[in-house]
Structure 1
Amino acid sequence: MVEADLGQAIGPINWLAYNVKKAPLDDVRVRKAINYALDRDFIVNVLLQGQVETAPGPIVPGSPLANANVENYDLDIDKANALLDEAGHPAGADGIRFTLTGDVTNGGEEMGRNLLDYMKSQLRKVGINVEIRVAPDFPTWAQRISNYDYDMTIDKVFNWGDPVIGVNRTYISSNIRPGVIWSNTQQYENTKVDELLASAATEVDPEKRKALYDEFQEIVVDETPIYFLNVIPYNTVYKKGLVGVPDGIWGPVSPMDDLRWEE
């Protein structure tokens, strides 16, 4: 089994995406309240048994363009409740403020359904009821999410080496494309973000490019169309005696022309 930096260039992130055009999630205070009510450290270290790395923002930590200084949304139930009160969602007699649907596919339980089960229990503490909707197959889930028929969903999206390839698509407003999965399915719009990503795409000075992406990450994490959970780990299992197994940052998508049996 090969580990180390395996698959880092693929940049796979597991996250909770919000439909920011649908009430009550159209209010950033509600999205932040959910973030503060969830314990990402518990998710990473207990539910996922410490086998994954935390993903604090839209660019994976292993990238030289990652910004480690974004808001972490540490667990704070009092702050979550205060934000929900401020947003005008008082608890009813049953303690519930409102109900949200949480979507997930029927595959990858450890980083999908199990996390939503935890979120359902955790968000109940701040008066949010979560109804989990498990899609019977990927096409059903993709149709729902890409046509904005959802409140929030667990999703897994890849950076693909450079933000221009795998990151921009999730946040630029011109990529809000109904029916297209893994576009800007959150329907997030911010003119400044559009400008930053356009500038960073053509900037050749490494330091200036890093500064542009740093600002982009700070804005996106603050406005939180997505609550970032964890980097998805890659492992390669192979039979003893096989050499030339891809063990670099591109992992299983690397060329396998040197794969052979040991002589």
Structure 2
Amino acid sequence: IRYRPISNESVMFSNLETGNINAAEVLSPNDIPAAKSNSSLIYKQVPALSFFGVMLNTKVAPLSNVHVRKAIEWGVNRDEIVNSVLKGVGVVAQGPISPSSWAFSSSIAPYSYNINNAKSELAQAGMSSVSFTLLIPSGSPLNSQEAQFIQSELQPAGITVNIKQETFATLLSDTDSHNFQGALLGWSGRPDPDGNMYSWFHTGGGFNSMQYSNPQVDSLLEAARASSDQSTRTSDYQQAETLILQDGSYVFINHGVSIQASTNNIKNFPLLPTGILEFTNVYLGS
């Protein structure tokens, strides 16, 4: 097995089409329709364990008001972002737990796009309009486009989003020091739900830049971490997820997808939601 680094995704796909390489795990969304329609290729995708969205600093006005945060939740059209910005290369997220996880529940109701609900939440906050600054990593057209979608979607609800681009290092420094209102950031995901929840949503968690704190969530995450019974842990995580959504400290937009495109003579090459490459039973067929 030989690895060939190719930094440009379009060049990588061109090499795959011509047979210069046999498999690729990263493709530009623009190349995926061609990969799906090419009879000489096998294309697969599964929901990954990652999640992406907007962190909301719960200790900084106006986002310190839960009704303002919930107004933002209702005002973001997740389906439109996945379909138009990500070109379908993503799965709409209801929370931190991916559909590929054993702890996932389809019965948890996610936020859907509803401007009337967004306006109602603002009214409960005693406001008719509000504004906040959204930090995004610079240098990514995809991040810019997603932020602009969020900006345009929230405007009819009376929510003005001021987009500010920062280098990734500066953005991380600002979020780590809680020097922000909103930030477009995601997480690569972990096989155990603890890795997607404890550090992010437990009080004082290492990735909890939102400064989110809910004693009930803390207790559930601690109990799940201490248990070895999967059914008990599943119940704990699903209860915690429901509370996290109600508190609106993070606008879950989408889960990523693990992608694999290979020439059709590559056999037994599994695609895992972790993104880990497994070559144990792979062979080159005719």
Q: TM-score, normalised on structure 1?
A: 0.83
CA–CA separation in structure 1 for the residues paired with 2:51 and 2:173: 21
Highest CA radius of gyration, 1 or 2? Answer: 2
Displacement of 1:228 after TM fit?
A: 0.7
Answer yes or no: is 1:224 the counterpart of 2:248: yes
- Residue 180 of structure 1 corresponds to which residue in structure 2? none
Q: In the alignment, residue 91 of structure 2 is paired with which amino acid? A: E
User: Are the structure 2 counterparts of residues 248 and 77 from structure 1 closer, same or farther at C-alpha, using a change threshold of 3 Å?
Assistant: closer
CA–CA separation in structure 2 for the residues paired with 1:141 and 1:2: 35
- Residue 122 of structure 2 corresponds to which residue in structure 1? 84
CA–CA separation in structure 1 for the residues paired with 2:231 and 2:268: 35
CA contact (8 A) 1:100 1:131 kept: yes
Matches within 5 A, 1:55-74: 55-74=93-112
- Residue 213 of structure 2 corresponds to which residue in structure 1? 189
- Residue 163 of structure 2 corresponds to which residue in structure 1? 132
Q: In the alignment, residue 241 of structure 2 is paired with which amino acid? A: Q
CA–CA separation in structure 2 for the residues paired with 1:107 and 1:258: 39
User: Are the structure 2 counterparts of residues 249 and 58 from structure 1 closer, same or farther at C-alpha, using a change threshold of 3 Å?
Assistant: closer
Q: TM-score, normalised on structure 2?
A: 0.77
Q: In the alignment, residue 201 of structure 1 is paired with which amino acid? A: R
CA–CA separation in structure 1 for the residues paired with 2:105 and 2:140: 28
Answer yes or no: is 1:157 the counterpart of 2:187: yes
Q: In the alignment, residue 3 of structure 1 is paired with which amino acid? A: K
**Secondary structure in structure 2 of the residue aligned to 1:99:** strand
Displacement of 1:12 after TM fit?
A: 1.1
Deviations 1:166-202 (Å, cap 9, x if unpaired)? Answer: 3211011132x5xxxxx11111011111110111112
**Secondary structure in structure 2 of the residue aligned to 1:60:** coil
Which runs of 4 or more aligned residues in structure 1 lie more than 4 Å from their structure 2 counterparts after TM superposition?
237-246, 255-263
CA contact (8 A) 1:159 1:167 kept: no
**Secondary structure in structure 1 of the residue aligned to 2:219:** helix
CA contact (8 A) 1:70 1:221 kept: no
Among candidates 219, 222, 226, match of residue 198 of structure 1:
222
Deviations 1:222-251 (Å, cap 9, x if unpaired)? Answer: 111111111112223556766675633333
- Residue 44 of structure 2 corresponds to which residue in structure 1? 3
User: Higher mean Cα deviation, 141-150 or 63-72?
Assistant: 63-72
CA–CA separation in structure 1 for the residues paired with 2:249 and 2:259: 30
CA contact (8 A) 2:45 2:258 kept: no
Deviations 1:15-50 (Å, cap 9, x if unpaired)? Answer: 111011111111110011111112112222233232
CA–CA separation in structure 1 for the residues paired with 2:280 and 2:103: 30
User: Are the structure 2 counterparts of residues 122 and 165 from structure 1 closer, same or farther at C-alpha, using a change threshold of 3 Å?
Assistant: closer
User: Are the structure 2 counterparts of residues 4 and 127 from structure 1 closer, same or farther at C-alpha, using a change threshold of 3 Å?
Assistant: closer
Displacement of 1:71 after TM fit?
A: 3.1
CA–CA separation in structure 1 for the residues paired with 2:66 and 2:218: 19
**Secondary structure in structure 2 of the residue aligned to 1:230:** strand
Structure 1, unaligned runs of 5 or more: 91-96, 178-182
Deviations 1:114-165 (Å, cap 9, x if unpaired)? Answer: 1110111121112222110111x21111111111111111111133100223
Equivalenced residues, count: 245
Matches within 5 A, 1:98-137: 98-110=130-142, 112-135=143-166, 137=167
Structure 2, unaligned runs of 5 or more: 1-41
- Residue 209 of structure 1 corresponds to which residue in structure 2? 233
Q: In the alignment, residue 136 of structure 2 is paired with which amino acid? A: V
CA–CA separation in structure 1 for the residues paired with 2:227 and 2:108: 22
